[in-house]
A and B are shown apart, each in its own frame.
Chain A
Amino acid sequence: MRPTPQRSAWLVGYGLLSPALALMAVMLVAPLLAMVVLSFWTQQGFEIDRSFTLANYFALVEPSSEPIVWMGIPIPLKYPVPAILLGKSILMSLAVTIAVIAMAYPMAYFLAFRVQRNKALWLVLLTIPFWTSYLLRVFAWKIVLGFNGAINSGLKSIGVIAEPLSFLLYNPLAVIITLVHAWIAFTVLPIYVSLEKIDRSLLEAATDLGDSKWRRFLRVTLPLSAPGTIGAALLVFIPTVGDYVTPTLVGGPGGTMIGNLIQELFLRQNNAPLGAAVAIVMMLVIGLLVLIFLWLIGFHKLRSRVG
């Protein structure tokens, strides 16, 4: 039997998708399922007890009568570290995301509306930081912010400070600065694309209908670039919550994030099932936050209108 045209188009579609699908099945879906399964087991010394239990999840929410106070918030949990670190990671990622978008948007705007020639060159220049490895860039920040780093020795040599500033490195701020730098170039591109796509006659129409430049930006440019900007924000927020390399290198004890805890549980504390449970909870919380965010800004409406 010969396949019908629709059927063969369908086959071609899945044929083209299949390498990616296969890779995702092996590298993403399978490990994820393994994690889910693992989180229902328990660690007994060096052995893993493979009987199904929700003990790991209960441990994360088990209440305690004497709450620990973190940043003024009482946390009534017996094992409060994961909850605190998750909350802190989310706040830090939020700060990173806001800073990244605040810096990337003007850059993308400039590129889309002001640069007339050699746009490709500008885009290539933007990617230059990516020509070195992520690890090297994090180390670079260690050198910039360090005790005898570029900032401290610079300030010392011009006599602004007598002793090196110690608050630059090994704290949440250092993590945030490093993450902002690491992610900013990723976000310029999607924002740039969504700005570039805006029909210039729409901007002229807005002006023609009486808008000042600022009003026109708020009423036309911003809403029409929202899909790309929101996409960029999620692109930063979701992976940075779980990042552990940057906090390990520049975070110090105060800059620890949830990713560090998961790593600890899996490796040093040898409690992979609990680590898996923390990881799963982190994923669910991030997913929930993203959904709430998208619902709040009415993303479904945006998509149906712009698309």
Chain B
Amino acid sequence: MSETGNEVIEIREVFKHFGPVAAVDGVSIGIRRGEFFSLLGPSGCGKTTLLRMLAGFEHPTSGEILIDGQSMTNVPANRRPTNMVFQSYAIFPHLNVEENVGYGLRNRKLGKEEMRAGVAAALDLVKLGGYGKRAAHQLSGGQRQRVALARALVCRPKVLLLDEPLGALDKKLREEMQVELRQLQRNVGITFVFVTHDQEEALTLSDRIAVMSLGKVLQIARADDLYERPNCREVAEFIGNMNLFEGKVAAATGANVTVDTAAGQLVAEADTQLATGAPVYIAVRPEKMTLSTKRPEQGQNALKGRIIAETYLGDRRQYLLATAAQEKPVTVSQQISGIETKAPSEGDVWVSWRPELARLLTS
């Protein structure tokens, strides 16, 4: 993972125990310079603890964190080249916007003019120019978020740490801020480490994402890789919707692997060699599946089922299919483009997908 020297953060075999609980359980990550990197996982997966260890608010039980090649083990939080945007924004209520943004600069030996210019530039950067004299309690949620960003960025950290900064905003504002955050990161070129439990947010924003669960990193990959090529069941289910069929390898011919499942024999492509009899999961995204009233042609995987629920989502329609093979219904998503051909709500339907659109998971 640390093959190149352009990694600004190296997390090496870090453990963090709270009593008997391992909040972070042997994590190693390399984060590249200038990258927008996300830590994604459900609450309690250790992502915030990891971020707080980067900031210096928590200390690893074992392992080491390096920032810019320097070990952070003995560097206190106030001397680290990191700055943080807190989940609650942590805007100082007794200071106005200008004083909040200039807070970190006052710890440096700067002239009065230099400081004023720095604060003004930072406020412009987050589109809050002219808000300097506002009191903290006069700000809206989105504005507080911007002040928190400006306050951290004005210190020119090597790494900006963001702890679910968009969580408290409403949906529309959150989407606007996502776009802005991405642009801002490109403009300033600072490495962002972003913690979120919202997979959509992580996919939208990040160059790379580390998916975490129970203190461990499951997969580190680009957004599209994560979606198209999850490396395990947990990642597959956490990112988007996924239909899973459990089974055993029956035969492997070339790239195509035939799997015996409760729904009959299904075929999928594998990129590793698999032994006959090995337990596997076939994973198929709902939008890769097709619905039809007739049995589809040979060479496709097909299942017979009955539609038990449908949801209209504007740009697509989502169906839940009960099949004889497994308890969990199969989710199928059909894009609505042009005139929609609705699936029949009565009688049997077929759901089918091409082998190369499925993914074989071994764990």
Contacts from A to B (Cβ < 8 Å): 199, 201-202, 204-212, 215, 219-220, 223-224, 302, 304-307
Contact = CB atoms under 8 A, between A and B. Distances in A.
Given A199-B88, A201-B90, A208 B78 contact: yes
A194 to B, nearest CB: 12
7 contacts: A204-B57, A204-B77, A207-B56, A207-B78, A208-B82, A210-B78, A211-B78
Contacts of A207: 56-57, 76-78
Interface in B123-179: 135-137, 151-152, 155
B86 interface: yes
Contacts of A302: 94
Given A210-B155, A305-B137, A205 B86 contact: yes
Contacts of B238: none
A212 B77 CA distance: 9
B296 interface: no
A246 B103 CA distance: 47
Interface in B249-270: none
A210 B107 contact: yes
A209 B107 contact: yes
B136 A208 contact: no
Contacts of B76: 207
A304 B155 contact: no
Contacts of B111: none
A210 B90 contact: no
B94 A204 contact: no
Interface string B177-191: 000000000000000
A212 to B, nearest CB: 6
Given A204-B57, A204-B90, A224-B94, A209 B83 contact: yes
Contacts of B57: 204, 207-208
A224 B107 contact: no
B94 A306 contact: yes
B86 A209 contact: no
Interface residues of B, number: 28
Interface in B198-214: none
Interface in B14-39: none
B137 A210 contact: no
A219 B19 CA distance: 34
Given A201-B86, A204-B57, A305-B136, A223 B107 contact: no
B155 A209 contact: yes
B84 interface: yes
A220 B94 CA distance: 8
Contacts of A210: 78-79, 104, 107-108, 155
B90 A211 contact: no
B19 to A, nearest CB: 14
Interface string B83-115: 110111010111100000001100110000000
B303 interface: no
Contact of A202 (B82, B92, B104): B92
Nearest to A212: B78
A224 B92 CA distance: 9
Interface string B46-77: 00000000011100000000000000000011
B135 A304 contact: yes
Contacts of B151: 205, 209
A209 B108 CA distance: 10
A204 to B, nearest CB: 6
A220 to B, nearest CB: 7
A304 B137 CA distance: 9
Contacts of B84: 204-205, 208
Contacts of A306: 93-94
Contacts of A211: 78, 107
Interface in B303-322: none
Contacts of A199: 88, 90
B72 to A, nearest CB: 14
B90 A305 contact: no
B291 to A, nearest CB: 49
Contacts of A205: 84, 86, 90, 92, 103, 151
B103 A305 contact: no
Contacts of A223: 94
B135 A305 contact: yes
A139 B83 CA distance: 57
A215 B94 contact: no
Contacts of B94: 223-224, 302, 305-306
Given A209-B107, A210-B78, A210-B108, A224 B155 contact: no
Contacts of A307: 137
A40 to B, nearest CB: 46
Contact of A209 (B87, B88, B93, B103): B103
A233 B94 CA distance: 20
Q: Which 5 A-B residue pairs are closest in the complex by CB-CB distance?
A: A209-B104, A210-B107, A205-B90, A201-B90, A207-B77
Contacts of B77: 204, 207-208
